Each structure stands twice: as C-alpha cells, then as structure tokens.
Chains A and B, each alone.
Chain A
C-alpha cells in the first residue's frame, strides 16, 4: 500500500510535524510520560526517594529480619539478607533504566550511521552494510547475548549494555536505511545536491531530521525490551552482578523464594512492569500519531 502513495501524499509526509502536537495532548501520552519523568527523577535522586520511610540505605541489612514481610517503616518488607526491599527497588531504578537507555543510545547511534550511509550511498556500500545488518539480524536477541556474555569477564552496566546494543542495532539500521531512501528522492534533497551542498551537510541537515523519527520511536520502545532482556539474563546468571543494585537481580533472587515470601518478587516486578507498560504505551501513541494509516 505504501508504495502506491501519490505525490500529494509525499508532500504531506514531508510536512508531518503537526501530529506531534496532537499526540502530546492525549492521555496515552501524558500518563506514561508522567510515569517516566517520575522514574527518571527516582533514578537521578535515589537517596531522596528512598528515605521516605526512614530506612533509605539499600546496603543497611539486618539478617535478623531476613525475608520478613512489609512492616512499619519497611513498606515492601525485607529481602533474604534482611535489606529493605523498598530502598533496593528505588536504588535499582538507576541501573535498570541505565542499561535500557545506554543500550538504546548506543544501538541507535550505530543504526543511524549505518542506515543513513547505506541508504544514501546505495551501490556496493549499501550491499556491504546491508549484509552486515543481515548477519546480526540472524542472531536471536537473547541467544546472541548469552554467547557473548559467557565469554566476557566482568559484567557491569556498561559492558552488558554494549552486548545488548550489539544485537539490537540491526533492526533500527534497516528502518533508517528505508526512511533515508524515501527522503533521498525528495525535491529539497535533489535541490541541495544540485546547489553543491557538501554530502556531509546534506546528510546531517536535510536527511537526518526528516528520516530519523520512525527510528527514534522504535528506539524508545526498545528501551523496554532491553530492560526485560537484562533481567532475564541476570536471572540466568549472566547479566549484572551483585555489587550493582538492579531490578533484575532482585527479581532473580526473589523468584527463588517466591512461594514463601512473594513480596521479594512482587514489588520489584511491579516497578519493572509499570516502567515497561509506560514505555510501550508512549511508543504506541507516538507511532500511531505519526502513521496516518493507524488513526482510527
């Protein structure tokens, strides 16, 4: 259907700035955006939020209250080591969101560079970059990450994000290539080429702003799947490691004692699920705002 668009539609496409304004006013935008802003504040200032109930130190643990349920001052109860679950969940926000964002930034950067060059240049460069993209698309996400994470020594927020980015850029690169090719044919790009604008400037000033939107939407949604992937890898024992505080680690520990003390799993899971749901809903709102076919 898309390839049958007439020139008038193409013109409309190039003026698609307005849907952003429409999207911003919807509940589907405001509610998840508010949740994400709060989570970002928690990630930036964890000590402030953690101290609400008077026990804000995630590393202060008392084995005497190991795995006890919620009590006064400890709304989420204690974990197996007797640490306050609330403080840990609050402090875990930083690394979980951190892995998600860092991965998204790295993979989107690579994807944009690869996609824009492949899409604009075409020919042999396009062929080589596209085959490279195909190779990394050949890896099922989690399995690829397992292979690499098994072989690297230390698993920190940065190294885990790097590995996850290694397997999440190709899809976005393909998207960037497609949208670059659409923009490349536009009149204003041809005009710029005719006027002798340097290629680098054409890419950055003309192509990039007009082609990047769909990639950014997918990148935003990918933050959610990356956070989930991190927690699954941590559960398997090849994600983040103990000195770090993360939701994945809490879920991994909590799931082993779920039957006797469900609070250790339920509270971090609630935070994680709320984060992912907000990201998915926000992404969906943006996607449908930007896609005229989906407005119904």
Chain B
C-alpha cells in the first residue's frame, strides 16, 4: 500500500511540474506583454494579415486561462503547434525521432561503458598518475563548448584521419553516428567517471568489503561483483539527469554533423528565426526530459528500499 501511495505522490509531483513548466513556457512565450506573434517573427517584420491569421491560429483572442487549457490539451494530443508555413511541427518531428533516439542511445552507451571503465580504473589506482590523468582529461574536455569539440572532432577524426564520415547519415548506424555520439558523450562521460571513482572508493572502504575479504573472496570478485554493483547506482541515476544536457547538446551536434534528427530541426529553425518551430520542438524535448526523470525516479523508488 505504501508503495502505491509513494508512487502516486511522485506522479502527482510530476503532474504539478508538468503544469508548471507548460504554464511558464506559455506565459513566457505566448502571453508576454507586447505582441508575441511579432516577437516570434524575430528580425523579420510580419505583414498585418499574417499577424491576424496567426493570432487566430494561436487562439490569442480567447481569454488567457482558455488559451492555456487549449495549449496543454493540444500537447497531450501531440500537437506542438504549426510552423510559419502552416505545417504541423509534430509531423516534421515524426520522421526525425529515430535519428535522434539512435544518437542519444549511442551516446548513453558510450558514456556508461567508457565512464564506468575510467571511473573504476581511477578508483583502483587512486592517487597514481593514471588517476590524475583521468581526472585532468575529464576536466579539460568539460571546459570546451560542445560545438568547438564537434568542429574539432570533425576536422581531426573526420577530415584529416578519415576514421569516420565528416557529416550526414549515408554510412548508416554505427559509422555515421560514432563521431557525433562521441562528442555528445564527452560531458556525461566525465561526470560518470568521477561519480564512479568516488563511489567505488567509498565502497572499497565499506564494511561488507572487509567481510568479503575476510571470507577469502578474490579481489576480482569483490571489485567486479560486489563493489561494482553497489557503485553503479549513482552512475545510472546520473544518466537520467544527464538527458537534459544531452538533449541541449544534441541540437548543436546534429547541426554540426548534419544529422537529420529533431535537434537539427531546432538548429535550422533557430538559424531561420522560425519562432513557432523553435518553441514547439523545445517543448517536445522538455517534455521528454520530464517524463524520463519521472520514470527514473519511480524506478529508483522501486529499486532502493532506503528512500521509501
């Protein structure tokens, strides 16, 4: 019973955050003082009849609460608005999701595998040159903006060394996605390796490790089975938190590598000052982030009896 109540409270929390986030977006974008439609036009002034049509399309002549209600109900139906040419933003996103999902999953896999490997390595060699090298490389890569990293990777690994295609997805899943996924993974990878290092070090000092050692278990078994399992929780939880920055960076990375995903739709929309597309795609990405955090939160709650 308490389990159900706990999960229910978490869902109620998410619903609240969902309504809050959509209301904040709604107020910031569509209901700001001044003319939101004109602001959506960016640098280009819009003709009067276009403004009137858009006002009608965006329901701006209705009372504020009704506008917001319609907006949220639309979101539930997968309606993220129309672009300036009247095409549905969701339709444009539909064909692009597979690319973005493949990219994000590849990046996650790289983060997890490489991050955990580096973290465990650093922890087992704590205080040595290897530990310091891992720490410094994560700091240095984390200090460079993602687009600089992307352009550099494109030039060095793509154009000069010809290890991977420079742009596009003609080469299919592993090859075309490797370079962008690598760039995308760098930031989370750094965080995961540090989290992993600290939690492995903590766990190595825990009582159960001493017990295991006294029992005569081999070092491989202690580290590989017991310590690893207990240290992975923060790293895996971090993956969900990291989705936020992953979705943000994917805009830049897909843009640079010319991958036809949702991120590059946003990238192109920003360059073309397509205000309504920008807001529609961003809101879709924000909602994905919200829903993922809820699922992870619920999983965490189910798996870890301590936080119940």
B247 contacts across to A, CB distance below 8 A: 140, 143
B271 contacts across to A, CB distance below 8 A: 236-237
Q: Could you tell me the distance in whole angstroms from the C-beta of B148 to the nearest C-beta in chain A?
A: 5
B18 contacts across to A, CB distance below 8 A: 138
In the complex, whether B140 has a CB less than 8 A from a CB of chain A is yes
- Given known A-B contacts A139-B286, A151-B275, A232-B146, A131 and B270 have beta carbons under 8 A apart: no
Chain B interface mostly helix, strand, loop or mixed? helix
In the complex, whether A273 has a CB less than 8 A from a CB of chain B is yes
B28 contacts across to A, CB distance below 8 A: 147-148, 151
- Do A134 and B13 touch across chains, with their CB atoms under 8 A apart? yes
Q: Which residue of A lies closest to B143 (CB)?
A: A276
- Contact pick for A232, options B39, B145, B152, B243, CB 8 Å: B145
Interface centre among B13, B32, B142, B143 (most CB of A within 10 A): B143
In the complex, whether B244 has a CB less than 8 A from a CB of chain A is yes
Q: How many residues of B contact A (CB 8 A)?
A: 54
Interface centre among B18, B40, B243, B279 (most CB of A within 10 A): B279
- Contact pick for A235, options B16, B20, B143, B145, CB 8 Å: B145
Q: Could you tell me the distance in whole angstroms from the C-beta of A246 to the nearest C-beta in chain B?
A: 12
A residues 17-74 near B (Cβ < 8 Å) are: none
A143 contacts across to B, CB distance below 8 A: 244, 247-248, 282, 285-286, 289
B244 contacts across to A, CB distance below 8 A: 140-141, 143
A212 contacts across to B, CB distance below 8 A: none
Other than the given A138-B286, A258-B155, 13 more pairs (CB < 8 A) read A135-B17, A136-B24, A138-B289, A138-B290, A143-B244, A143-B282, A147-B29, A150-B29, A151-B32, A152-B39, A237-B271, A255-B147, A269-B144
**B interface list, Cβ under 8 A from A:** 13, 16-18, 20-21, 24-25, 28-29, 32, 36, 39-40, 42, 126, 139-140, 142-148, 151-152, 155, 159, 198, 201, 243-245, 247-249, 251-252, 255, 266-267, 270-271, 275, 278-279, 282-283, 285-286, 289-290, 293
Closest 7 CB pairs between A and B?
A142-B248, A135-B20, A140-B244, A276-B143, A138-B21, A273-B143, A255-B151
